[in-house]
Amino acid sequence: MPLGLPSREPKPSTTVFKRVLIANRGEIAVRVARACRELGIQTVAVFSDADRTNAHVTAADEAYHIGPARAADSYLNVQRLIETAQRAECDAIHPGYGFLAENAGFARACAAAGLTFIGPSPGVMEEMGDKIQARLRAANAGFPVVPGSTEAVAEVAHALSLADSLGYPVAIKASAGGGGKGLKIAHERAAVAQAFSLAAKEAAAYFGDGRVYLERYLAAPKHVEIQILGDKHGHVIHLGERDCSLQRRHQKLVEETPALISAGTRRRMLEAAVGLALAMHYDSAGTIECLVEGDEFFFLEMNTRIQVEHTISEAVYGIDLVKAQIRIAAGEALWLSQADIVARGHAIECRINAEAPLQEFSASPGLISAYREPGGPGVRVDAAAYAGWNIPTDYDSLIAKLIAWGMDREEARLRMLRALAEFTVSGVTTTIPLFQALLESDEFRAGSYSTSTVETFMADRRSDIARAYDSAAQRLDDDRTPTTAAADGNSDSTALTVEVNGKRFEVRVSGWKVGPKAGSRPSARHRPVKQVASTGACVQAPMHGVLSEIRVKPDDAVTQGQVIATIEAMKMMNEVIAHRSGVVKSVEAAPGSTCEAGACIVTLTE
Residue 76 has pLDDT above 70, yes or no: yes
Helix %, strand %, coil % for the chain, to 5? 30, 30, 40
| Nearest CA among 376, 101, 97 for reference residue 252 | 97
Q: Where are the domains of the chain?
A: 16-118, 147-216, 222-465, 538-604
Residue 520 has pLDDT above 50, yes or no: no
In this structure, which long-range contacts are made by residues 449-454, counting pairs with CB atoms below 8 Å and at least 24 apart in sequence?
Answer: 449/222, 449/245, 449/246, 450/220, 450/221, 450/222, 450/245, 451/218, 451/220, 451/221, 451/222, 451/223, 451/245, 451/247, 451/250, 451/291, 452/219, 452/220, 453/245, 453/246, 454/246, 454/247, 454/248, 454/253
* Fold held by 16-118: Rossmann fold (3.40.50)
Residue 344 has pLDDT above 60, yes or no: yes
Q: Please, what CATH class does the domain formed by 222-465 belong to?
A: alpha beta
Rounded-to-integer distance, Cα 462 and Cα 464, Å: 5
Provide the CA 128 distance to its chain's centre, in angstroms: 19
pLDDT digits (tens, 9 = 90+) for 409-421: 999 999 999 999 9
Least confident residue range of 212-221, 252-261, 324-333, 595-604: 595-604
* Fold held by 538-604: OB fold (Dihydrolipoamide Acetyltransferase, E2P) (2.40.50)
Q: In 61-84, which positions are buried (b, 16+ CB within 10 angstroms) versus exposed (e)?
A: ebbbbbbeebbeebbbbbebbbeb
Average pLDDT over residues 89-117: 97
Rounded-to-integer distance, Cα 26 and Cα 63, Å: 13
Least confident residue range of 36-40, 259-263, 548-552, 600-604: 548-552
DSSP string for 294-325? TTEEEEEEEE-S--TTHHHHHHHH---HHHHH
- Name the percent of the chain lying above pLDDT 70: 88
pLDDT digits (tens, 9 = 90+) for 433-470: 999 999 999 999 999 999 999 999 999 999 989 999 99
Model's pTM, two decimal places? 0.81
pLDDT band at 493 (very low <50, low <70, confident <90, very high): low
CATH architecture type of domain 147-216: 2-Layer Sandwich (3.30)
Query: Over the chain, what is the mean pLDDT?
Result: 89
* CB 222 within 8 Å of CB 451: yes
Residue 164 has pLDDT above 80, yes or no: yes
Rounded-to-integer distance, Cα 188 and Cα 160, Å: 10
Average pLDDT over residues 490-517: 61
Reduce the DSSP state of residue 336 to 3 states and report it.
Answer: coil
Provide the CA 135 distance to its chain's centre, in angstroms: 23
| Nearest CA among 590, 583, 591, 575 for reference residue 537 | 583
pLDDT band at 158 (very low <50, low <70, confident <90, very high): very high
Residue 145 has pLDDT above 50, yes or no: yes
Amino acid 564: pLDDT = 87
Q: How far is CA 426 from CA 37, 204, 370, 396, 432, in A?
A: 31, 36, 5, 18, 11
Amino acid 181: pLDDT = 79
Strand partners, 569: 572
For residue 579, which phi and psi values (nearest 5 degrees)? -80, -10
- Within a 13 Å sphere around the CA of 268, how many CA atoms are in the beta-carbon half? 15
pLDDT band at 595 (very low <50, low <70, confident <90, very high): confident
Average pLDDT over residues 187-199: 93
pLDDT digits (tens, 9 = 90+) for 6-53: 455 667 766 789 999 999 999 999 999 999 999 999 999 999 999 999
